[in-house]
Structure 1
């Protein structure tokens, strides 16, 4: 056996180990969700954006049991086109049944269509988990490509301007409905802490406002004159003490009572209270 054969035999057993330790495929970077993205569709909570085009969006999602999936959801413009909705449903129906984890009803005309694709195992750094994730993403891209019809080969020669759908500029996520509401299940511990601190801050501000109002008005004088409270018969009686005339003015004018009694309008006056319609200069309410 030559030295060359010895080196060949020595290197042969190491090849399977090199294959076993092959690094996993790198997954494309996911983007965080935007405020316009739905937090949940069906039983799946959306975690990040994986891709987007004029037809819709790809999301990374998981349900309450921890099952991971890739969700393909139509955009606002494509979901309003009946023909685009039919292409989405047809593309989902052509997928193997075991890879379609869930989808909404095609009869919901007011909602955007979506489908959850899998199976996707948790990301443990292995190549198998990365392969399942990539396969699910490719299937979601195929569904959205069927809506756009961008992979259909043209018939004849390409001439004239490029074809574009009339709804391609409407790229916001389609309409969705959440029931039951995601709050407070979707809140993380940090969100719970922020919500509790905000409620405590509001409570402290309310207590301070009440305390400041009490300190400002606790020594305020009473309202003068005191408010007149009518009797159950809607009659208000006010007794006025006559003033003493100054010296040299003589006695009061005959025909006037020194202690008149005033009644509410609409009731007759008592005899001797003076002529009607002539107010006493000393009347005060």
Structure 2
């Protein structure tokens, strides 16, 4: 190798930076839909509420700001949320729920956002909508309120800051089956049909097993509403020559006799008149 030859060093390839997703996946506690907007992912969260990426059935994209469970139970926090929404321009508020729904969390859909076509205008609209949603949640949390004077003492915290689950929501109409793909609809229909067939098979097997079962012996006694049980006993017919008023072979009147009906237990007397029942009287 001569001195005139140049030496080239090969630089190792740098690993590509991981791409940060535009939205995080929804959690099980997140609502699948609020109003006419389907939630697609989380954009941000704090103690006051959540920001979701959403889209409607007509193709409109929006950013949904929704209160948490703790902030939705505070009347003052709900009022701050309503005031922050009222301060937004009318054209950017696509939808919101009624503030009189005390049992539900307040939410608002912010837009308009054009479909993501890779242009900078679509990204700017989404970024502006996210910033407006953050301002609404910050107004509820009051973390951007300027502090007059000097800071002294402990930091201020709301009593509901630890309750950060999404607030209560109501879905009507139900999200399924319009949110299901054709394959999911087939699976749901197959599952319902299988359940119906299993139930029919269980009924047929029960009938086949107990069709020749003998009746219960003895038959169950159904009590009356008063709690007593009525048992009907049919007396037997006395044989000829017996009964009241029959005569003896000697021609004199015989002692009247009666026949106890069958089925009725008879109790013989323990003693007769003139018979001592006390063992000491026999001696």
- TM-score norm. by structure 2 comes to 0.67
Q: Is residue 27–residue 134 contact of structure 1 (8 Å, CA) maintained in 2?
A: no
1:165 is displaced (CA, Å) by 0.7
C-alpha distance after superposition, 1:95-124 (max 9, x if no partner): 222211112233333322211101111223
* 1:81 match: 74
* 1:274 match: 259
Distance in 1 of aligned mates of 2:74 and 2:263: 84
Change (3 A) 1:239 1:47: farther
- Aligned residue among 87, 94, 99 for 1:94: 87
1:199 is displaced (CA, Å) by 0.9
- State whether structure 2 residue 181 is matched by structure 1 residue 188: yes
Say what the alpha-carbon RMSD is for the aligned residues.
3.5
Change (3 A) 1:163 1:215: same
1:86 is displaced (CA, Å) by 2.1
Point out the structure with the larger helix share.
1
Larger radius of gyration: 2
- Aligned residue among 119, 124, 127 for 1:126: 119
- State whether structure 2 residue 150 is matched by structure 1 residue 165: no
* 1:8 match: none
Change (3 A) 1:36 1:253: farther
Change (3 A) 1:177 1:273: farther
Matches within 5 A, 1:1-285: 28-221=21-214, 255=242, 274-276=259-261, 279=264
C-alpha distance after superposition, 1:197-252 (max 9, x if no partner): 22122123213323332443345456567999xxxxx9979799xxxxxxxxxxx9
Distance in 2 of aligned mates of 1:277 and 1:48: 85
1:168 is displaced (CA, Å) by 0.4
Distance in 1 of aligned mates of 2:84 and 2:219: 82
Distance in 2 of aligned mates of 1:41 and 1:278: 75
1:173 is displaced (CA, Å) by 1.4
Distance in 1 of aligned mates of 2:20 and 2:111: 16
1:91 is displaced (CA, Å) by 1.7
Gaps spanning 5+ residues in structure 1: where? 1-25, 229-233, 241-251, 257-271
Change (3 A) 1:146 1:28: farther
Change (3 A) 1:180 1:237: same
- TM-score norm. by structure 1 comes to 0.66
Q: Is residue 47–residue 162 contact of structure 2 (8 Å, CA) maintained in 1?
A: yes
Change (3 A) 1:215 1:239: farther
Distance in 2 of aligned mates of 1:109 and 1:227: 56
Q: Is residue 111–residue 175 contact of structure 1 (8 Å, CA) maintained in 2?
A: yes
3-state SS of 1:122 partner: coil
